[in-house]
Amino acid sequence: MKKILFLIFAVIAFQNMAMADNSKKEVNDFIQKVANENKEPIKQLIAVATAARKGNTVAQCALGICFYSGKYGAADYKKAFTWFSKAAKKDFPEAQFFVGICYFYGRGVYKSTDQAMVWWNKAAKKGNQDAINILKIINK
């Protein structure tokens, strides 16, 4: 059962679905803009990190994704969770979804299905389709 849930969550987490809250599109657009403006990967990371440190919520979520995926080196789940949390606390639905993922798998934070559900519910209430889909599967 855990393997099936993992596969479902992995597919949902990383596919590019249209979202009512539009936060996934904002993150993807931001990352694309940074990539277009900075051809060197290190400059891309610096640009995202600079915007994130200045409080840009989209950049905070994007930086979390960079650390979570290991896009610019080895994955660092603790740093990913830190950046997702900053954006999630500002009610950014995509970040709330990823905070739930981190709690569910215990990546960068202690493992807690209860906390994952709390964050997925917050994201779902904001229209995050990934969170809505996970909650539908869990609540069947």
Could you list the pLDDT tens digit for every one of the 140 residues in the chain? 444 444 344 444 444 334 446 888 889 888 889 888 988 888 989 999 999 999 999 999 999 999 999 988 889 999 999 999 999 999 999 999 999 999 999 999 999 999 999 999 999 999 999 999 999 998 88
Nearest to 24 by CA among 74, 95, 103, 89: 95
Percent pLDDT > 70 in the chain is 85
Q: Tell me which amino acid residue 104 is.
A: F
pLDDT at 23: 85
- Asked if residue 67 is part of any domain, the answer here is yes
- Asked if residue 17 is part of any domain, the answer here is no
pLDDT at 21: 67
- Asked if residue 8 is part of any domain, the answer here is no
Q: Are 2 and 34 in contact, with CB atoms under 8 Å apart?
A: no
CA dihedral 27, 28, 32, 33 (to 10 degrees): -40
Domain of residue 126, CATH code: 1.25.40.10
**Domain count across the chain:** 1
Q: Please give the backbone phi and psi of residue 112, each rounded to the nearest 5 degrees, phi first.
A: -155, 110
Q: What is the spatial distance between Cα 50 and Cα 57, in angstroms, rounded to a whole number? A: 12
- Asked if residue 40 is part of any domain, the answer here is yes
- Asked if residue 7 is part of any domain, the answer here is no
- Asked if residue 5 is part of any domain, the answer here is no
- Asked if residue 118 is part of any domain, the answer here is yes
Q: Which structural domain range is residue 42 located in?
A: 23-138
Q: Are 100 and 117 in contact, with CB atoms under 8 Å apart?
A: yes
Q: Who's near 117: CB < 8 A, 6+ residues apart?
A: 100, 135, 138
Neighbours of 55 (CB within 10 A): 11
